[in-house]
Amino acid sequence: MAESAVIEIQGLVKSFKGHLGLGRKVAVSGLDLSVGRGEIFGLLGPNGAGKTTTLKAMIGLLAPDAGSVRLFGRPPSDVTARARIGFLPENPYFYDYLTAAEFLDFYGRLHGFDRGERKRRVESTLRKVGLGTGPKQALRKFSKGMVQRLGLAQAILHDPDLVILDEPMSGLDPIGRREVRDLILSLRDGGKTVFFSSHILQDAELICDRVGIVVEGKLRHLGVLDQMIRSAPRWFEVAVRGEVPAPWNREVASASGEKVMVKVPDVEDLGRLLAAVSDSGAE
Ligand code: ATP
């Protein structure tokens, strides 16, 4: 029998008590979403949009006010569904006095792996996340990027079918971000489903099959990011070095150093501006 969607969210609503207990702040407001097997899905949105709240409700860390979540067709509290999920929280925090290998070995015990299996998994997972053979210092001496990598390692140690990552590239340098993107791609190549949140458009653009854009708790756009960007440009900005030709000199959006940003509304105007810039000797 074909498996139903890996993630099925319907009408999810979650609110919190407001400041000083006054009123309620709606963090997620009627979110519907379905993610299939083998997809890389990015939940994008600005700070405070409701991404973390959605992720926490998805895995059963928060009880929704309304709506439902199904993972592999089961509620998030279901043990068989949980066993198939790996989760990286937004700000992972681990036991200060363990080494990376000790910490992962502890997680391996929670998953019920025997000693040999734990050793094998810990070694291969440390390599996968770019921690080599495992730094020997205690976790309290780890940099933010190392903690993030270890968080990823605990999320994938048990080879889950669904990996849910809250801001997985946060705190990483450009090489680290690329390594995490490659890791996510390799998970998908292995048939896994990856759901991650981010506010960095580029990370999502490079690897996501589909994205959802959430603003103030509502899903505003859903689809392939590339097509969204292509289908609905609201304007173009051109950086001009040198004198901006008329009539675009009236459309200057901002200036930085020698460069002036000119805003044009559509692709025809963009073509005319580029031709005029080139004719005038500006860059
Ligand atoms: P960020 O990118 O900054 O992590 P986010 O999109 O993950 O943002 P959430 O953390 O889900 O956003 O927060 C959504 C809204 O809900 C915010 O206004 C936040 O202040 C509020 N919120 C989240 N958790 C709580 C809580 N435990 N109590 C009260 N308000 C909360």
Per residue in 156-188, pLDDT tens?
Answer: 999 999 999 999 988 788 888 888 899 899 999
Task: Tell me which of 51, 164, 196, 211 to substitute to probe ligand 1's pocket, judged by most ligand atoms within 8 Å of the beta carbon.
Answer: 51
**What is residue 63's predicted lDDT score, i.e. its pLDDT?**
94
Q: Indicate the residue type of 8.
A: E
Q: Is 198 in the pocket of ligand 1 (CB under 6 A)?
A: no
CA angle 252/255/257 to nearest 5° reads 150
Q: Is 125 in the pocket of ligand 1 (CB under 6 A)?
A: no
**Tokens found for residue 36:** 């299939």
Residue 222, H or E segment: strand 218-223
Give residues with Cβ within 8 angstroms of 201, minimum separation 6: 44, 225
CA–CA dist 56, 257 (Å, integer): 44
Quote the CA–CA distance of 131 and 150 in Å, as a whole number: 8
Confidence bin at 45 (pLDDT 50/70/90)? very high
The residue ranking higher by pLDDT, 253 or 136, is 136
User: Contact, 225 vs 204, CB < 8 A?
Assistant: yes
Distance 218 CA to ligand 1 centre (A): 13
Both tokens of residue 176?
Answer: 């680290």
Q: What is the pLDDT of residue 1?
A: 45
User: CB within 8 A of 207, min separation 6: which ones?
Assistant: 40, 42, 181, 184, 185
Q: How far is the CA of 216 from the centre of ligand 1 (A)?
A: 10
Compute the distance from residue 48 Cα to the ligand 1 centre, in Å: 5
pLDDT at position 67 is 96
8 Å CB contact between 283 and 260: no
Question: What number of helices (H) and strands (E) belong to the chain?
Answer: 9, 12
Least confident of 84-93, 94-103, 197-206, 231-240: 231-240
Contacts of 82 (CB under 8 A, 6+ apart): 59, 60, 76
